[in-house]
Amino acid sequence: MQKSASYDIRMLERRTSQLMEWGNDLESGKLSFEMAIRKFDSKSKLIQESFERIINHESFLPLIPSSEVDALLVAFCLASARFYLHRHSPEKRQRLYESALESASRLGNQFGLSRLYSILGSAFSGQHLFHPAKECFEASLDISSNEIEPKQLIETLGNLGNVYGRLNDTQKAFQYQFQALSIATKECSQMRSKLLCSIGWSYRHKGNWEKAMDYFQKSANEATDVIDEGYALGSLGSTYRQTGDRENAEKCLLQRIILARQINDTEGERNSLGCLGSVYSDAGRYPEAWKCHNDALTLSRKRHDIGGEAIDINNLGDVLFKQGNIENAIAQYKRAIDLFHSAGNSLREGICLKNIAICYGDTHNYELAIPAGRKAIQVLRNSEKSSDRINEIEEMIQKWTKQLSIQEIEK
């Protein structure tokens, strides 16, 4: 029994280490998504079986220090969660992080616990759950502010600032982001580019487009690697699109796509293709828009990215809608809604339902537009930062209700 337990521990250490290495290779672009998933699936089942044998058999536990099991469980949960991040399985990812957090709490490793709170906060933020994300980042900051490691402190301050920006509290967002920037300037200058980009996004959330673009450009100029430069250019390009500057938007996004392809950053390439497609769609360049969104959809499916696939299908629906092909646009929106629901993205699901309501409203089919709008409001209530969209839909429903009454009178 002792030999079997020791073997399981050794195998756990080796296999978990491999998962962490593959996670690094996946994020750096050294390993393709398809190969990483195949490797992960082959190892994760074996690891889970080993954990079950150790945890479920009491005779094993006296032979193995509980702290050793906890440390391995933390590593496995973190490694697994990174793969689920790419698969866009937010609920599964969140459960894995919470399991890791519970084990780390027993370990008493303060630095590891701070890191886990930060990662769990990122998981919440990725689901647009900004209040629990803020609580996690604040818990991480309470720990990391007492640690010597400046990089973790800078990252946590930056994340906390980003969340406050999404919660429309720009004063606190800037407070944390500029504090992080000050530390990075002294201790870790290679992190400045990412922080400058985050500050740009806070200005963008505030509606200060000029300041946002200024910080995105600074971020691109100070970038020390292709990843940060590409993200800054993508942010700049999408902001140019929002301000109606299609020429500069196209220029930045094409540069971003080139950089993404250099390092096999399929996620960055997909995001930029989607934004570029919207730029072309805004300009009435529909064949080019369709190609960009379709290429983005191919990448999303290749990466098993449900959330990305839903966004790309929704964008294809937008192109069809602008061309007046309402029936096929609605069909695309309905496909996107199912995927958004599967991915747990109630904000995007609600926006897509709103698009369907507008399709019906624009074709004077008010009997279908009104319930579709009400359904959109119902879904959007489950998402933070949706009050403006809800108010907009309520105004449309009032207008459609009046139009429906006129139709009935005329009949």
Mean pLDDT of 89-111: 61
pLDDT band at 349 (very low <50, low <70, confident <90, very high): very high
Q: What is the pLDDT of residue 60?
A: 38
Q: For residue 59, how many other CB atoms are within 10 A of its CB?
A: 10
Mean pLDDT of 31-46: 61
Residue 130 has pLDDT above 60, yes or no: yes
Q: What is the pLDDT of residue 47?
A: 61
Percent of the chain with pLDDT over 90: 47
- Interval 379-389: pLDDT, tens: 999 876 788 89
Residue 15 has pLDDT above 80, yes or no: no
Percent of the chain with pLDDT over 70: 69
Q: What is the pLDDT of residue 62?
A: 38
Is 302 or 49 the better-scoring residue by pLDDT?
Answer: 302
Residue 257 has pLDDT above 90, yes or no: yes
Mean pLDDT of 81-105: 58
Q: What is the pLDDT of residue 331?
A: 97
Nearest to 319 by CA among 294, 339, 337: 294
Residue 105 has pLDDT above 80, yes or no: no
Q: What is the pLDDT of residue 99?
A: 64
Q: What is the pLDDT of residue 59?
A: 41
Nearest to 383 by CA among 131, 86, 89: 131
- Interval 221-242: pLDDT, tens: 999 889 899 999 999 999 999 9
CA–CA gap between residue 242 and residue 250 (Å, rounded)? 12
| Best mean pLDDT range from 24-33, 46-55, 201-210 | 201-210
The domain 333-411 is placed in CATH, from the list 1.10.10, 1.20.58, 3.30.70, 1.20.5, at: 1.20.58
Angle at 83 between CA 234 and CA 13, to 5 degrees: 135
User: Which of 49-53, 65-69, 146-150 shows the lowest mean pLDDT across its residues?
Assistant: 65-69
Q: What is the pLDDT of residue 214?
A: 97
Q: What is the pLDDT of residue 65?
A: 43
Residue 114 has pLDDT above 80, yes or no: no
Q: What is the pLDDT of residue 223?
A: 92
| Best mean pLDDT range from 72-86, 334-348, 354-368, 371-385 | 354-368
Q: What are phi and psi of 192, to 5 degrees?
A: -60, -40
Residue 3 has pLDDT above 50, yes or no: no
Q: What is the pLDDT of residue 398?
A: 95
**What is 234-301 written as a DSSP string?**
HHHHHHHHHTT-HHHHHHHHHHHHHHHHHTT-HHHHHHHHHHHHHHHHHTT-HHHHHHHHHHHHHHHH
Residue 348 has pLDDT above 50, yes or no: yes
pLDDT band at 93 (very low <50, low <70, confident <90, very high): low
Nearest to 159 by CA among 105, 112, 123, 110: 123
Q: For residue 290, how many other CB atoms are within 10 A of its CB?
A: 18
Mean pLDDT value across the chain: 81
Q: Which residue has the tokens 């409001």?
A: 377
Q: What is the pLDDT of residue 264?
A: 86
Tokens linked to 181: 């920037």
Q: How far is CA 14 from the centre of its chain?
A: 30
